[in-house]
């Protein structure tokens, strides 16, 4: 068992204990590092929550390599065409419609742990969990921007929970030098403290 798998299993058991306040004896035996929490009565949920967040940080520091595609090396971050948006993601070659360009992935979070993130600028829900590439600059998909204007969208997200990612799929043929534009979704913009400016056709 890898160090990531060890901490992931430990985290799963701690989260189950947090939800149920009990675990079968055979599972409790797997939490030797957390026996202090298992034996406290009544359960110290404040300490348990702090341990959960600590173990999740540890697990995220040991993540396995992120999934990649044949197109990854042809995608580069450059200044975006959208004003005041920082970097955007561009294609260095023609890419056919329907291709998986890259994956949006990163640190893995639960509903509990995502509430304590200092920033949620890159946070994305995938199925029942969240991914956050903020601390992972190698994740190309994190550089994509939302132009707000639907006619600009040329890629879309397709959930791939089995690999803790969202695939970025070309909605049409992508031409060399083109910036990739994706919808962040209404829920994202409702949480922002500013009103985005839609990109306009020249």
Q: How high is the pLDDT of residue 123?
A: 94
Q: How many domains does the chain have?
A: 2
Question: Considering the domain boundaries, does residue 90 fall inside one?
Answer: yes
Q: How high is the pLDDT of residue 28?
A: 65
Q: How high is the pLDDT of residue 92?
A: 98
Same domain, 48 and 76: no
Same domain, 87 and 180: yes
Question: Considering the domain boundaries, does residue 201 fall inside one?
Answer: no
What one-character-per-residue DSSP string does 112-161 give? Answer: HHHTT-S--TT-EEETTEEEE-TT-TT-GGGG-B--S-GGG--EEEEEEG
Same domain, 30 and 50: yes
Q: How high is the pLDDT of residue 49?
A: 92
pTM: 0.90
Q: How high is the pLDDT of residue 24?
A: 62
Question: Considering the domain boundaries, does residue 197 fall inside one?
Answer: no
Question: Which residue segment(s) compose the domain that 24 sits in?
Answer: 3-60
Same domain, 51 and 78: no
Same domain, 78 and 176: yes
Q: Mean pLDDT for each 10-residue chunk of the chain (202 residues)?
A: 90 87 67 80 87 95 97 97 94 98 97 93 94 97 96 97 97 98 89 83 82
CATH of the domain at 135: 2.170.270.10
60, 91, 108 — which closes off a domain? 60
In what helix (H) or strand (E) does residue 18 lie, and over which residues does it extend? helix 3-20
Q: How high is the pLDDT of residue 75?
A: 98
């Amino acid at each position: 068992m890898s160090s990531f798998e060890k901490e992931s299993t430990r985290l799963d058991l701690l989260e189950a204990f947090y939800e149920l306040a009990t675990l079968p004896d055979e599972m409790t035996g797997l939490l030797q590092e957390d026996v202090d929490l298992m034996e406290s009565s009544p359960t110290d949920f404040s300490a348990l929550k702090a341990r959960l967040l600590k173990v999740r940080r540890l697990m995220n520091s040991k993540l396995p390599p992120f999934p990649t595609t044949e197109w990854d090396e042809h995608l580069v971050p450059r200044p975006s065409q959208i004003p005041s948006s920082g970097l955007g993601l561009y294609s260095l070659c023609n890419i056919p419609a329907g291709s998986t360009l890259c994956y949006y992935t990163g640190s893995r979070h639960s509903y509990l742990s995502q509430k304590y993130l200092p920033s949620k600028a890159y946070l994305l829900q995938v199925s029942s969990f969240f991914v956050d590439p903020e601390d992972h600059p190698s994740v190309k998909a994190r550089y994509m921007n939302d132009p707000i204007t639907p006619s600009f969208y040329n890629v879309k997200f397709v959930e791939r929970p089995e690999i803790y990612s969202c695939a970025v799929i070309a909605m049409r043929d992508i031409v060399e030098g083109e910036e990739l534009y994706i919808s962040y979704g209404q829920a994202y913009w409702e949480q922002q403290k500013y009103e985005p400016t839609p990109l306009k056709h020249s």
